Structure 1
């Protein structure tokens, strides 16, 4: 069901960027007939070139991300805006604010804690007053985490097996590449948090995205960078696990979903993420190396001398993995939990294609289409700054399954 009082059902903003072009191509191949899609960006020439490559006749919207008037017009013209223009801390605040004010549903790919927190503070009240669904993190950050816990909770609830307690996502397989945009987002977050002590303190909290920090349960420290035997997660998991670089963001999105649902997952719900380092004797050493390496990268981006070097060797904005790498990529994430009744469960989120690019294009595209076409099936909402699970829930689960993504859950013996 679409809103024909607006010019467009969906605007893909940042369509000429690396990920934006992948999203546009996905929608050109898989978007249903009749969905009125427009391409947005700051260069008409590049937009025209993209439209020609895609073989579509979609309208073009030329607008700069920092132009408040242009962003307001873009938002008012659409039922839904999907934006890939990052780093969102640099380039995203004007558009999301315009969508909140216009009552326009919004999806993005941010993995930036500081931006997400600022968006909550800036847009929660306005988006509730207009009914806009502001849905951050609709890609590899953080749909597998958020929907994986969502289906896990549903099965536990259906079995009347209590509530979730200790819950751990483990990346059990992963193949893909990095883009300059991902690295640029990391740089921006480091710069912003280094300059803003208050925001740095908020971002460090396990509940930095909570709607009400004072109402959250006191569960002690929740570690982001973990290293432990797999059996410490669940007795069915062999080998060793180490830090997963997206854990510090994804975990906060999942905790926000729990809070927005009135702590339906449980008041004693503890959530963390890790990745498998294998079963070889070297696995614990690899896990320790990941922990040291991740810390060294962040420290290197924070210090001018090493930042100078890293800026010259890391991928530049606008670059990304080639078509073969994107096609041959894949990932599997298993989420293990123990419930308050002592039962053990596992959910799985598995997809083909490079996680951050090919698979992300599918996830963002289907999130946007869910808002355009399935509004009467979505979870009840008065608008607000939501998460994929709370805004899209089962509708997105069904859509992604239809594309070949495995999203499953089962009770463990």
Structure 2
């Protein structure tokens, strides 16, 4: 379908959800005049309520009814817009029909999933179709996994500009302050349920190259474990397992492979969470690592999962406005090249990383797809933020107040 025949430039699907409302508010404040934006979801009444609470620029945005369980409505939605950004999750339950509709319609797509198995399935089912139609299907456009993906992208660019060899060893240390939403819990629950329903998926989930476009071509470079014991760094900081590492690391490795292993054939990439120094840091690191193991175990066991369901945030709920405003994130990424040269990247921003900062990341990703098509990398198919949006997104996020930089050490 010709782009000129489409009614909308950008549609937010899931605008009545917790993150969907935050995203709609961000777009209402930052979308240039003249861009045709729509709000989509299952309930027209709720969409009208959301629109009424948005800044004045959004008051005339059309509302569009569509349901993830109604393929015909998704086809009509995808064919009506040039870009669709979706916050409807868990994506393993509701996301696949949306991806497939966009791929078939040649509609650019962005989401904020952190669900490994969903991205793997979407990749296998939509990549070839999207490459044929020209659709950019861009997963992980939030705190999962833009800071990780763009930091490594910038490190490789900086090393290449210096004439250095490929990256060999890259380690990210994440520090943050933020809250937790019911949607995040629901996504974790969905992934645990998928692994329980099909034990063979555990081997897939444990594969460090699970999202590679060509698994057989991946080098045998050892990769850091996604979870492990607390470690004291040379500068005195203690680190613990990072809950997002199993997903982020695979997105970064996919970015490397999609670019012909441009970061380095021998890239070893890992992520941990920084938790402080001294005895308190050691105790915190042990508690975080044990807590992650305990949470997964509790979600895997029916009786304890039932207890957690009563006390954890419900779907559609999330951190308070004060928590979202006072949150922040900072990723420090140290890299060594094959020849021993060292570099460091910083990715940082204000606001709760999973919600306020994610609304910025997802919003700017959607705007890049909508407004900057002629400057984006010439790629289509199942992509990552770095491979689909690259330097254009880096520029947009810097302009939005986030930090993305890479320097020699």
TM-score normalised by L of structure 1: 0.96
* C-alpha separation in 1, matches of 2:31 and 2:152: 28
Question: What is the match of residue 355 of structure 1?
Answer: 353
Question: What is the match of residue 8 of structure 1?
Answer: 8
* C-alpha separation in 2, matches of 1:357 and 1:84: 11
Question: What is the match of residue 197 of structure 2?
Answer: 195
Question: What is the match of residue 301 of structure 1?
Answer: 299
Secondary structure of the 2:5 match is coil
Secondary structure of the 2:317 match is coil
Question: What is the match of residue 234 of structure 1?
Answer: none
Question: What is the match of residue 90 of structure 1?
Answer: 93
Question: What is the match of residue 241 of structure 1?
Answer: 239
Question: What is the match of residue 318 of structure 2?
Answer: 320
From 341, 346, 350, the equivalent of 2:339 is 341
Question: 1:279 offset after TM fit, Å?
Answer: 1.1
What stretches of structure 1 move > 3 A for 4+ residues in a row?
none
Pick which of 98-107 and 53-62 moved more: 53-62
Secondary structure of the 1:40 match is strand
Question: 1:52 offset after TM fit, Å?
Answer: 1.1
- Counterpart check, 1:43 vs 2:43: yes
Question: What is the match of residue 218 of structure 2?
Answer: 216
Pick which of 25-34 and 222-231 moved more: 222-231
TM-score normalised by L of structure 2: 0.97
Question: 1:53 offset after TM fit, Å?
Answer: 1.1
* C-alpha separation in 1, matches of 2:51 and 2:314: 24
Secondary structure of the 1:337 match is strand
Alignment of 1:11-410 (within 5 A): 11-54=11-54, 55=56, 56-171=59-174, 173-226=175-228, 227-231=230-234, 237-381=235-379, 383-410=380-407
Secondary structure of the 1:147 match is helix
* C-alpha separation in 2, matches of 1:109 and 1:151: 21
Answer whether contact 2:181 2:318 (CA < 8 A) is retained. yes
Pick which of 188-197 and 69-78 moved more: 188-197
Question: 1:289 offset after TM fit, Å?
Answer: 2.1
Question: 1:138 offset after TM fit, Å?
Answer: 0.2
Secondary structure of the 1:363 match is helix
Deviation sequence 1:46-84 (CA, Å, 0-9, x none) = 101111111320011111111000000000001000000
Deviation sequence 1:276-303 (CA, Å, 0-9, x none) = 1211223233222222110110011001
Answer whether contact 2:192 2:300 (CA < 8 A) is retained. yes
* C-alpha separation in 1, matches of 2:134 and 2:145: 23
* C-alpha separation in 1, matches of 2:92 and 2:351: 27
Secondary structure of the 1:307 match is helix
* C-alpha separation in 2, matches of 1:205 and 1:284: 29
Secondary structure of the 1:244 match is coil
* C-alpha separation in 2, matches of 1:99 and 1:16: 20
Secondary structure of the 2:20 match is helix
Answer whether contact 2:222 2:268 (CA < 8 A) is retained. no
Answer whether contact 2:223 2:268 (CA < 8 A) is retained. no
* C-alpha separation in 2, matches of 1:200 and 1:79: 36
* C-alpha separation in 2, matches of 1:291 and 1:170: 15
Answer whether contact 2:236 2:278 (CA < 8 A) is retained. no
Pick which of 200-209 and 177-186 moved more: 200-209
Secondary structure of the 2:53 match is helix
Question: 1:221 offset after TM fit, Å?
Answer: 4.8
Deviation sequence 1:335-390 (CA, Å, 0-9, x none) = 10111111111000010011011110010110011011000100111x11000000
* C-alpha separation in 2, matches of 1:131 and 1:198: 33
Question: 1:239 offset after TM fit, Å?
Answer: 1.4
- Gaps of at least 5 residues in structure 2 are none
Secondary structure of the 1:107 match is strand
* C-alpha separation in 2, matches of 1:238 and 1:351: 24
Aligned length: 404
- Gaps of at least 5 residues in structure 1 are 232-236
* C-alpha separation in 2, matches of 1:213 and 1:352: 37
Secondary structure of the 1:148 match is helix
